[in-house]
Amino acid sequence: MVQHILDTPIEYLKGVGPSRAEMLRKEVGVFTFNDLLHYYPFRYVDRSKFYRISDIDSDSAWIQLRGKIISMQILGTGRTSRLVLQFTDGSGQTELVFFQGIKWAKEKVIIGKEYIVFGKPNYFNRKYNFPHPDFEPADEEVSSPNEPLQPYYSTSEKLKSRGFTPKNFARLIRTLLNQVYNAIPETLSPALIHSLKLISRAEALLNIHFPANAVLLEKAQQRLKFDELFFIQLQIIRLKFIRTEKVKSRVFSRIGENFNNFYKNNLPFELTNAQKRVVKEIRADMGSGKQMNRLLQGDVGSGKTLVALMSMLIAIDNDCQACLMAPTEILAAQHYKTISKMLAGLNIEVALLTGSTRKAERSVLHQSLSEGKMQILIGTHALIEESVQFRNLGLVVIDEQHRFGVAQRARLWEKSLVPPHILVMTATPIPRTLAMTLYGDLEVSVIDELPPGRKPIKTYHFFEKDRLKVIQFMRSQIEQGRQIYIVYPLINESDKLELQALSEGIDNITRHFPLPQYHVSIVHGQLKAADKESEMKRFLERKTQIMVATTVIEVGVDVPNASVMIIENAERFGLSQLHQLRGRVGRGADQSFCILMSSYKLTTEGKKRLETMVRTTDGFDIAEVDLHLRGPGDIQGTQQSGLVGLKLANLVKDEKLLKLAREFAFRTLEDDPGLQKPENAPLVRHLSNKEFDWGKIS
Ligand code: ADP
Ligand code: MG
């Protein structure tokens, strides 16, 4: 096959060569011409604008200076040694400081020569200096005067030492563009380009590197962002089309004895309207003949378990097995207990399978599963093991799906010749933009209503000075018969400081709440499963009033009598985690409380998180704030979603464009599901270049 010029290895670009190519591959992942073409500048500097040193008055922005280096000195020794260049532009004097790459910088400096310096001023010892600025001789300009916006490329000390300064990146990319401009393929159909008034892909790539002006830069960004979002949506929606068109699954046509008996005799309460609606949606899906792929979102405590159970009963009524997979042993055990209890008297076989299930028990279980006798299997990822074989698995329910890797989920699919229906439940509300991208191929149901009689949890933020007040409050709650959680951050189970905080916390609590009047449960990740279980059990049976725990209790544990959640070092938790933790209380009819303890030292972000928690209990509201604070890249699950491919588009800022991209992807596929029309050939070519892996999404 003839290789496209853009696939040429980067070493063949004029000015690169084998050893510098190795550097580019290692340091910035640039392997081919195409990769370099997509190595976008991280900012643009208006090269007609120079700052005067005397005008510098804040250390926030990147600025450009023009002037001379008048002296060069190496100060300090060993690890503190640094190169200091005195720099003047006539209006004043400042220092350019290098801690690394000293040798390289030193060799580059010619005293008295004019340089253009680009950097971020830093206020230190009552004056501004520039740590690690970029500087280039003023006579080595690469962009022409009619391109006032100059691109700056990120680079590393290592790259710089081999001559890859931001300027040199610009030079290389200029060379590349001259060579390949006419060969840059269009990726969208003419109709799309026309109706969205986009510039061509080649024009966009040229202007993202060397903008002719601010307007064209903006257009280039729009075009390239649109491409990024559009192709993700096209892939997701195509996957959705394929699944709904092609993947046949069992038809659950019957609502039978088990479901009806449960509804009539065992249902402990009236379903909420939201629960009724969602059960209906699931029933319709599973009766359609197509495979169900549904995401069930519902805030903590909204009653998802019941929905899962009723869905499983439908599967059983249609002679199939069902399984429910939970992320932790505690949660799996709790589901098992709740569900067995709810099914009392119904003659349905339910079993629990986790990593700590004994071998003998396990082989009996395997047997009854493969014979089809066992109807509901609840467990952890132990369910995925090869030895677990179902006779006719019809429904897979996955709880708290963020914790399951994509590969793990895919393996559940393989447990049945006919693909089982899939219900994914999550209590982590996902902002719309993210959901469109992460789960855009799944149907979504939302339980947007809590069971009746719940009072909104009151949330407070306290500091250490309020400790005695908090202890007082705990006593009064315990006197009223309530129970209390205290959670410590133990993000890293072997972090000494965190472990110390936990053990000091425990000492403190047992001192304030001594035996024999008070009893305390302690649960953390280093306990054996059986010990965890028995500590939980004591709390559940009200033998203890206080549960001190690390985040192992985060998901799912249900103790309706617990009405106070105290979170220590709350500033160390992420927003969604705080929200999950708070959801452990407020499950009964009593007024519940959440107390966020924090140190006095708070980052702006940490403060915002705590303020948000105090302000609202709405999970979607919290998720939006979280997305704004952290950006999508940090939100669990996004790593595996293909979102890492977003270079320019931002799911927070480009929501409008995302909607547009999704809409047009939909229209395109509706009009031409197989993308077979000639005008869609560019799309297909681009998709196949991207070597997209279907398994990465959903
Ligand atoms: P989550 O959605 O967080 O998994 P659960 O399924 O654990 O929530 O339900 C939370 C609590 O609410 C449980 O104690 C459950 O028994 C109770 N519950 C669920 N549905 C209802 C309902 N319709 N009416 C009253 N209580 C309900
Ligand atoms: Mg749950």
Supply the DSSP string of 231-281, one letter for each residue. Answer: HHHHHHHHHHHHHHHH-B--------HHHHHIIIII--SPPPHHHHHHHHH
CB 648 within 8 A of CB 642: no
pLDDT at 165 over 80: yes
Distance CA 89, CA 70 (A): 10
Split at pLDDT 50, 70, 90, the class of 623 is confident
Protein residue with least CA distance to atom 10, ligand 1 = 301
Distance CA 389, CA 318 (A): 19
Lowest mean pLDDT among 47-56, 193-202, 363-372, 628-637: 628-637
* Furthest-apart CA atoms within the chain: distance in Å: 92
Protein residue with least CA distance to atom 26, ligand 1 = 451
Per-residue confidence (pLDDT) for residue 373, from 0 to 100: 95
Q: What percent of the chain shows pLDDT beyond 70?
A: 90
Pocket test for ligand 1, best of 262, 263, 267, 269 (most atoms within 8 A of CB): 269
Quick one: how many helices (H) and strands (E) in the chain?
A: 23, 22
CB 350 within 8 A of CB 336: yes
To which residue do tokens 């060799």 refer?
107
Q: Which two tokens stand for residue 340?
A: 């067995």
Evaluate: CB of 203 within 6 angstroms of ligand 1.
no
Distance CA 376, CA 635 (A): 32
Protein residue with least CA distance to atom 18, ligand 1 = 303
Per-residue confidence (pLDDT) for residue 416, from 0 to 100: 67
pLDDT at 227 over 90: yes
Per-residue confidence (pLDDT) for residue 146, from 0 to 100: 61
Per-residue confidence (pLDDT) for residue 409, from 0 to 100: 57
Average pLDDT score over residue span 395-406: 72
Closest atom of ligand 1 to 272 CA is 23
Evaluate: CB of 303 within 6 angstroms of ligand 1.
yes
Q: Check residues 519 and 429 and name the one with the higher pLDDT.
A: 519
Phi, psi dihedral angles at 56 (to 5 degrees): -65, 125
Evaluate: CB of 269 within 6 angstroms of ligand 1.
yes
Give the ligand whose atoms come closest to the C-alpha of residue 269.
Answer: 1
| DSSP bridge pairs for 324 | 378, 397
Q: What percent of the chain shows pLDDT beyond 90?
A: 50
Evaluate: CB of 334 within 6 angstroms of ligand 1.
no
Split at pLDDT 50, 70, 90, the class of 696 is very low
Per-residue confidence (pLDDT) for residue 322, from 0 to 100: 97
To which residue do tokens 């927003």 refer?
575
Distance CA 419, CA 273 (A): 30
Give the ligand whose atoms come closest to the C-alpha of residue 448.
Answer: 1
Evaluate: CB of 443 within 6 angstroms of ligand 1.
no
Distance CA 240, CA 441 (A): 5
CB 293 within 8 A of CB 398: no
Give residue 671's identity as a one-letter amino acid code. Answer: D
504-528 pLDDT, tens digit each: 889 999 999 999 999 999 988 778 8
pLDDT at 642 over 50: no
CA of 280 to the centre of ligand 1 (A): 18
DSSP string, 593-652: EEEEEE-S---HHHHHHHHHHHH---HHHHHHHHHHHH-GGGSTTSGGGTGGG-SS--TT
Verify cis geometry, omega within 30 degrees of 0, for the bond prior to 145.
no
CATH number of 458-616: 3.40.50.300
CA of 257 to the centre of ligand 2 (A): 26
Average pLDDT score over residue span 324-329: 86
pLDDT at 374 over 90: yes
* Nearest one of 251, 370, 393 to 322, comparing CA atoms: 393
CA dihedral 234, 239, 245, 251 (to 10 degrees): -150
pLDDT at 46 over 90: no
CB 115 within 8 A of CB 129: no
Per-residue confidence (pLDDT) for residue 636, from 0 to 100: 46
23-41 pLDDT, tens digit each: 999 999 899 999 999 999 9
pLDDT at 492 over 70: no
For 312-456, strand residue ranges (E) read 321-325, 350-353, 376-379, 393-399, 421-426, 443-447
- 336-357: buried (b, 16+ CB within 10 Å) or exposed (e) per residue? bebbeebbeeeebebbbbbeeb
Per-residue confidence (pLDDT) for residue 418, from 0 to 100: 77
* Nearest one of 135, 136, 130, 153 to 61, comparing CA atoms: 130
CB 426 within 8 A of CB 447: no
Q: Which two tokens stand for residue 591?
A: 């007024």
Per-residue confidence (pLDDT) for residue 690, from 0 to 100: 59
Residue 497 is inside which H or E element, if any? helix 496-512
Protein residue with least CA distance to atom 5, ligand 1 = 303
Per-residue confidence (pLDDT) for residue 230, from 0 to 100: 94
50-59 pLDDT, tens digit each: 889 988 887 6
To which residue do tokens 């499950």 refer?
587
Give the ligand whose atoms come closest to the C-alpha of residue 330.
Answer: 2
Are 257-447 and 458-616 equal in CATH topology? Answer: yes
Evaluate: CB of 587 within 6 angstroms of ligand 1.
yes
Average pLDDT score over residue span 532-557: 82
Pocket test for ligand 1, best of 306, 340, 455, 457 (most atoms within 8 A of CB): 306
Per-residue confidence (pLDDT) for residue 552, from 0 to 100: 67
Evaluate: CB of 300 within 6 angstroms of ligand 1.
yes
Residue 461 is inside which H or E element, if any? strand 458-463
Lowest mean pLDDT among 233-237, 285-289, 432-436, 479-483: 432-436
Distance CA 658, CA 661 (A): 5
Q: Check residues 292 and 438 and name the one with the higher pLDDT.
A: 292
Evaluate: CB of 447 within 6 angstroms of ligand 1.
no
The angle, 0 to 180 degrees and rounded to 10, between the axes of the packed helices 604-615 and 619-630 is: 170
Split at pLDDT 50, 70, 90, the class of 188 is very high
Ion ligand 2: protein residues whose beta carbon lies under 5 Å: 556
Per-residue confidence (pLDDT) for residue 556, from 0 to 100: 52
Most confident of 99-108, 130-139, 269-278, 417-426: 269-278
CATH number of 257-447: 3.40.50.300
Domain boundaries, the chain: 257-447, 458-616
Assign 63 to helix, strand or coil.
Answer: strand
Give the ligand whose atoms come closest to the C-alpha of residue 298.
Answer: 1
Average pLDDT, the chain: 86
Lowest mean pLDDT among 14-28, 49-63, 111-125, 410-424: 410-424
CB neighbour list of residue 639: distance below 8 Å, 6 or more residues apart? 633
Average pLDDT score over residue span 563-587: 90
658-682 pLDDT, tens digit each: 899 999 999 999 999 889 999 999 9
- Bridging pattern class, strands 546-549 and 483-487: parallel
Closest atom of ligand 1 to 302 CA is 2
Evaluate: CB of 429 within 6 angstroms of ligand 1.
no
Give the ligand whose atoms come closest to the C-alpha of residue 585.
Answer: 1
Per-residue confidence (pLDDT) for residue 639, from 0 to 100: 44
CB neighbour list of residue 69: distance below 8 Å, 6 or more residues apart? 85, 86, 87, 96, 109, 110, 111, 112, 113, 115
Ramachandran quadrant class, 345 (left: phi over 0; alpha: psi -120 to 50; beta: rest): left
Protein residue with least CA distance to atom 4, ligand 1 = 304
pLDDT at 232 over 70: yes
Per-residue confidence (pLDDT) for residue 142, from 0 to 100: 54
334-356 pLDDT, tens digit each: 899 999 999 999 999 999 999 88
Closest atom of ligand 1 to 338 CA is 16
CA of 89 to the centre of ligand 2 (A): 64
